[in-house]
Structure 1
Amino acid sequence: MEIQKTPLKDCFILKPDVFRDDRGLFYETYNQKVFEKITGLKIDFVQDNQSVSSKGVLRGLHFQNGEMVQAKLVRVVKGKVLDIVVDIRKDSETFGRSFSIILDDVEHLQLFVPKGFAHGFITLSEQSIFSYKCDNYYDKASECGIIYNDATLALDWHLPKEEFIISAKDLELPSFEEAIS
């Protein structure tokens, strides 16, 4: 497994060694010893989640506050998504900056999203199965987010707005400035 830095502090891309033959393929999705050795971070994942989405479904940008803040390791099991993270740690040198990456079922890249980041994705293929490990449990009372079309962040979601499918809850999310205050 190879672990690559992104432009955002503590946010990493994991590139597994994929072994292919006439039966298909095999790869290790996570190895705590390798991750800890390369990143210096010890993460104990406690919850696995999975979502199934059709093309244009935009989920996020979500995060949890306080004691329930989460780090995540995200990947695509099927399909293709644009994954976006925003550093919302006020004391970070990359505060307010975003990073995006295409995750798919061909390259099998994963993204480690550290605590203190807002996270979202949009499905670019006809369907996606998106999986994520979390180091803290979901807590509805701690849930927050940033509106997908925040003017300060000016994110490019790679699809025309007319194709977006967004939940009513996500359409009510606050702006970046409101969310971080």
Structure 2
Amino acid sequence: MKFIQTKIPEVVILEPQVFGDDRGFFMETFRASEFNEKCAPREFVQENHSSSAQGILRGLHYQIQNPQGKLVRVVKGSVYDVAVDIRKSSATFGQWVGVELSAANKRQLWVPEGFAHGFYVTSESAEFVYKCTNYYAPEYERSLLWNDSRLSIDWPLVDNQAPTLSEKDAQAPGFEQADKFK
């Protein structure tokens, strides 16, 4: 497994070694000892799997209490995945990282606690799988407006069309108004 640094040091791209032939492929997707050494010492307690059509944007989500670190990957299709640093005490506060994750490139992204996270489906459909370091707690869930001008996230919108959002995400506060971590 290769661990690739991004412009925000705590956000890491994981790139597996893939062994393939005419029968298919094999890859190791997670090894706790390597992850703990090269990313962060964490225990994952929940795993989720979602399916979405092209043009759907999910996020930017976080839990203000019981924060979740997420190790995310795509098993079908492709997405543009984004992590936004919302830790006031961080040197990278208000900065974001965007990465293409796909079934083809098999990359994963480590999004630590203290970040808002979201993804936009660029393929016809996508299946998104992620491990979490804490349990889902809807009473603490927050959303950050996906297109806030303060963040200027460069989403690769298909045909430059507005994404399909949940009502919660469409009404999310902007960066200045959103709850943040210390």
Would the TM-score normalized by the shorter structure come out above 0.5?
yes
1:149 and 1:163 map into 2 onto residues whose CA distance is 10
| TM-score normalised according to structure 1 size | 0.95
CA contact (8 A) 1:80 1:105 kept: yes
CA contact (8 A) 2:143 2:172 kept: yes
Answering whether residue 31 of structure 2 is matched by residue 12 of structure 1, we say no
> Amino acid of the residue matched to residue 17 of structure 2?
D
Percent identity for Structure 1 against Structure 2: 46
Q: Counterpart in 2 of 1:138? A: 136
1:46 and 1:7 map into 2 onto residues whose CA distance is 28
1:96 and 1:51 map into 2 onto residues whose CA distance is 27
CA contact (8 A) 2:64 2:179 kept: no
CA contact (8 A) 1:9 1:94 kept: no
Query: Mind listing any 5+ residue stretches in structure 2 that lack a counterpart?
Result: none
2:144 and 2:90 map into 1 onto residues whose CA distance is 18
SS of 2:168's partner is helix
| TM-score normalised according to structure 2 size | 0.95
Q: Counterpart in 2 of 1:112? A: 110
Q: Counterpart in 2 of 1:59? A: 58
SS of 1:49's partner is strand
> Amino acid of the residue matched to residue 61 of structure 1?
L
Q: Counterpart in 1 of 2:168? A: 169
Q: Counterpart in 2 of 1:24? A: 24
Q: Counterpart in 1 of 2:70? A: 72
CA contact (8 A) 2:67 2:113 kept: yes
* Deviation by residue 1:53-112 (Cα, 9 ceiling, x = unmatched): 00000000000012x101000000000000011001111111110110000011100000
> Amino acid of the residue matched to residue 135 of structure 1?
T
Shift of 1:9: 2.8
Shift of 1:161: 5.1
Shift of 1:11: 0.8
* Deviation by residue 1:145-170 (Cα, 9 ceiling, x = unmatched): 11111010011111155351111111
Runs of 4+ in 1 over 6 A off after TM superposition: none
1:161 and 1:52 map into 2 onto residues whose CA distance is 22
CA contact (8 A) 1:9 1:93 kept: no
* 1:116-127 mapped onto 2 (5 Å cutoff): 116-127=114-125
> Amino acid of the residue matched to residue 32 of structure 1?
A
2:109 and 2:161 map into 1 onto residues whose CA distance is 27
CA contact (8 A) 2:143 2:168 kept: no
CA contact (8 A) 1:9 1:92 kept: no
> Amino acid of the residue matched to residue 82 of structure 2?
I
Question: Does the C-alpha gap of structure 1 residues 161 and 148 become closer, same or farther in structure 2, counting only changes over 3 Å?
Answer: farther
Query: Mind listing any 5+ residue stretches in structure 1 that lack a counterpart?
Result: none
Q: Counterpart in 1 of 2:152? A: 154
1:85 and 1:96 map into 2 onto residues whose CA distance is 10
Q: Counterpart in 2 of 1:128? A: 126
